[in-house]
């Protein structure tokens, strides 16, 4: 029984899938060649990937440049002792009795310490090589994008021309068919 229900379900899904495909194919969109090229450029995955590659190359370039730029760090510490710590020391240090202890507080109520640190990469051959590599990577990414853009445009224009030629051929065949029908009707 289960197997028969599975078969029915599969048939139903197949009918729904095929009807959906047929319905989606029934819409005809008419585009000019400029609109087709524009649509293709906006929705082409390869171009989107090439754009992401350029963005990544820019980020890598700036990361590499940032390594060689001056690095300044500022550190500021502030301490507010609400209650100073109390220590016990022998009272005989201050002229007291032997065996007695005196309470004494060390420290200040407030303390502030600041520091500024500046670092600069003066010379590093690997940084220079990395800088050149990032420049080459960016140029290569931009060239790849341009190449992909030209290929997409060329492909769209070729397909558009092919479709236009096929449509013209179809209309010629239809005209020939009508002419043959007229000749046969005589």
pLDDT in tens, 29-88: 677 889 888 998 999 999 999 999 999 999 999 999 999 889 999 999 998 888 888 888
Q: What are phi and psi of 172, to 5 degrees?
A: -65, -40
Q: What are phi and psi of 71, to 5 degrees?
A: -120, 115
Residues 130 and 53 in one domain: yes
Quote the crossing angle between the two packed helices 125-185 and 33-43, to the nearest 10°. Answer: 140
Residues 134 and 62 in one domain: yes
Q: Is the pTM of this model over 0.75?
A: no
pLDDT at residue 8 is higher than 70: no
Residues 52 and 135 in one domain: yes
pLDDT at residue 14 is higher than 80: no
* pLDDT of res. 18: 66
Residues 55 and 98 in one domain: no
Residues 61 and 126 in one domain: yes
The predicted-structure confidence for 126-181, as pLDDT tens digits, reads as follows 999 999 999 999 999 999 999 999 999 999 999 888 888 988 999 999 999 899 88
Q: How far apart are CA 161 and CA 167, in angstroms?
A: 10
Query: Within a domain: residue 88?
Result: yes
The predicted-structure confidence for 90-130, as pLDDT tens digits, reads as follows 878 777 788 888 888 887 888 899 999 999 888 888 999 99
Reference 40, options 161, 152, 143; nearest CA is 152
Query: Within a domain: residue 44?
Result: yes
Question: In total, how many domains does the chain have?
Answer: 2
Residues 53 and 75 in one domain: no
* pLDDT of res. 93: 77
* Count of alpha carbons within 13 angstroms of residue 38, beta-carbon side: 5
């Amino acid at each position: 029984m289960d197997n028969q229900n599975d078969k029915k379900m599969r048939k139903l899904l197949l009918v729904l899938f095929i009807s959906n495909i047929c319905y989606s194919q029934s819409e005809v969109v008419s585009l000019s060649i400029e609109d087709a090229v524009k649509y293709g450029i906006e929705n082409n995955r390869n171009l989107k990937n090439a754009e992401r590659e350029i963005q990544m190359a820019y980020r890598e370039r700036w990361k590499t440049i940032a390594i060689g730029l001056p690095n300044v760090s500022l550190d500021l510490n502030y301490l507010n002792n609400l209650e100073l710590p109390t220590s016990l020391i022998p009272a005989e240090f201050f002229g007291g009795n032997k065996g007695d202890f005196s309470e004494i507080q060390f420290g200040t109520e407030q303390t502030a310490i600041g520091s500024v640190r500046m670092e600069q990469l003066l010379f590093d051959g690997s940084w220079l090589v990395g800088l050149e590599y990032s420049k080459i990577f960016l140029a290569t990414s931009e060239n790849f994008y341009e190449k992909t853009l030209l290929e997409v445009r060329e492909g769209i224009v070729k397909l558009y021309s092919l479709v236009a030629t096929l449509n013209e051929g179809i209309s010629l065949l239809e005209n020939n068919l009508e002419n043959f029908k007229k000749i046969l009707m005589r």
